[in-house]
A and B are shown apart, each in its own frame.
Chain A
Amino acid sequence: MSDQTLPLTGEVTSFLTRRARWSPLEVAFWLIALASIWLFPAKHLILTEICIWAMFALSLDLILGYAGIISLGHAAFFGLGAYSAGLIGKYGFIPEPVLALVASGLIASVAGFATSFLVLRGSDLTRLMVTFGVALVLGEIANKFSDITGGADGLQGVEIGPVFGTFRFDLFGHTGYVYALSVLFLMFVLARRIVRSPFGLSLQAIRGNPLRSSAVGIAVNWRLVAIYTLSAGYAGLAGAVLAQTQQFASLEMFSVERSADVLLILIIGGTGYLYGGLIGALIYRLAQDYLSDLSARYWQYWIGFVLIMMVLFGRVYGGILAALIIGATIWFKVDTGTSFVLTAGTLLVLGLVREPIVKWVALREQQAVVAMRRIRTRMKLGGHTESGHAGRA
């Protein structure tokens, strides 16, 4: 009896260990990140921002990529974390930034826990609206209590002490970058540990089919509450790092635009493998830095364009196509108005011809598969006639 169950347990354990193993590619990724501290000392400010976006996208990936919860108000927790860290710094409750950071993360996760019960209910649309509503309510609170939060002017006069009492935040952002990168790495390691655990597997099962998951004995609601709480805490940490490194917090941190931006970042990088948010943040921020020189005010137009292309033609092809089109407008030095008209026109035409293109590609793929299969069987037939397998075909 036990002989039959033991190998299964062993197999499960070895499966989980195999999943949890760090691949050389991952090690290289983090070594490059570490090396960036010395390689690009002049770029530390923008790299810090990338780290913060990466943390925020990582937190969204936990709920979207692993639990399938669509949120249009994740900035609620980001802003909450930022204001918590800012207020803690301003009024000097906790002079040490790391402890203040942990406290801000905890505050955000408490808010996440409290609102997670709202998110459990209903369909995608209900979730969308509830998350949206929570972000609006929190933003309104920050706006209305302006004597504490500074209202529309933002939270000013934030004082952040030295990290561990020794490392001061400097003007060039060197300390800030090392700080943000360390926090990102720790958060990532923890998230990785969690999603590769049996708990993480059960989340993916829930995303796949909640009804069947509950049928095999997964406590669907409580697991969603747990991951939502964790994700809110992560978003809070990201906001707190932003408030600490910039010594500032503003109402914009609660905005729909920020929630939509982080969604875009995650979609660019890809959901459900944790690195998506990190890679997406890198691409997004560098592209923004480059494109903003051209049209800072209309940056959102290009975000929208990329999103639409990615939905129409898939994340990879759509992204490449959008990058090519945007690249072409830059290459030929098209002015803003003309490029808007041209891209909008292109979009309409592409939308019109998408159906036939997709069908054509699918048909060709099918034909290729059939042809491959035919070739393979022929080769098999040729190779195996003597050994007597031919009769099977």
Chain B
Amino acid sequence: MLTIHDIQTILTILFDGIAYGMLLFVLACGLSVTLGLMNLVNLAHGAFAMAGGYVTVVLVNRMGLPFLVGLPLAFLAGAAIGALLERTLYVNLYAKSHLDQVLFTIGLVFMSVAGVDYVMGSSQQFVNIPAWLEGQIDAGGVGVGRYRLMIIVICGLLTLALQVILAKSRFGSRLRAAVDDQRVARGLGINVGAVFGLTFAFGSGLAALGGALGAQILGLDPVFPLKYLIYFLIVVTVGGTSSITGPFVASILLGIGDVAGKYYLPTLSAFVIYSIMIVMLLWRPQGLFSRPR
């Protein structure tokens, strides 16, 4: 029999899981476009998230800017770094083999890890969040963390905005055309390179925003890109790359699964996640929601 207390626990887990999942979605959705559009295995995606986190730490903690100002600045910084690297380095990578892409992006991760370690030190960093975001709201016995509630609101709005941009705007239709068939899109006069550059920068910016938001929950230290790489990859491969609905549902499932696993099976949670991933890959190698090609 479920007692009221059990139900409250389940609701808390669901809430935390959804917040965690939405965060993962914002972190990983850029990667799903990168992989889906240009078939680029970008293992360095987490480095952009880390950059966003550290930019926020510097702006908020050291320069004393308000947290809510730090977030959009983190997005801009991530997008700028993404655009710069895309134009200078990644652009050389599209025609290369998957092995080369893996080597290159792993190299980039190593450089960013060591570089951040040098500049910021290897200890974990925390962002000073304002007082009104700390603590919990009591909603019928269910503890709702204010910070997590803010994450759900921001990420939910972002997801809606993304959906609208992709489905309604001219840029979105160009992007979808390029994802579906690059060659035909080129033939129709769509500048696939420019579309991709913009999308890459935007995706990097989103990752940076995710990193800034998640610094409090995920922990921010120089090995961040390696630690969460597997989560990003799970979101992308399980969700598929043909729409943003797939990665979104995959992120939410992963978030709830991870939080619930940590609560109910604390010793086995890592196995649960990795095993689910392997099973999913075997069952639907194309992703959960995409049609096989």
Contacts and interface: CB of A to CB of B under 8 A. Distances in A.
B230 A133 contact: yes
Contact of A351 (B41, B89, B268, B285): B89
Contact of B270 (A126, A136, A267): A136
Best-surrounded residue of A118, A305, A351 (most CB of chain B within 10 A): A351
Contacts of A130: 278, 281
Given A136-B230, A298-B117, A336-B118, A307 B107 contact: yes
A256 B226 contact: yes
A230 interface: no
Contacts of B278: 118, 130, 133-134
Interface string B86-114: 01110111001011111110111111111
Contact of A304 (B100, B107, B119): B107
Interface string A259-299: 01001100100000000000000000000000000000111
A323 to B, nearest CB: 15
Interface residues of A, number: 52
A182 B175 CA distance: 57
B131 interface: no
Given A308-B111, A351-B89, A124 B41 contact: yes
A312 interface: yes
Interface stretch (A211-219, A221-229, A340-348, A382-390): A340-348
Contacts of A303: 107, 110
- Which label, helix, strand, loop or mixed, suits the secondary structure of the A interface? helix
Contacts of A136: 230, 270, 274
Contact of B103 (A118, A144, A256, A311): A311
A190 interface: no
A352 interface: yes
B41 A301 contact: no
Given A133-B230, A137-B271, A344-B115, A124 B104 contact: no
Contacts of B103: 263-264, 267, 307, 310-311
A349 B274 CA distance: 40
B188 interface: no
A340 B237 CA distance: 34
A300 B110 contact: yes
A265 to B, nearest CB: 12
A304 B285 contact: no
B109 to A, nearest CB: 7
9 contacts: A121-B282, A124-B99, A141-B271, A257-B226, A300-B113, A301-B115, A304-B108, A307-B107, A340-B114
Given A263-B102, A307-B107, 11 more contacts: A70-B98, A121-B282, A124-B41, A125-B35, A126-B285, A128-B233, A133-B274, A140-B274, A141-B271, A311-B101, A349-B88
Interface of B: 35, 41, 84-85, 87-89, 91-93, 96, 98-104, 106-115, 117-119, 226, 229-230, 233-234, 237, 267-268, 270-271, 274-275, 277-278, 281-282, 285
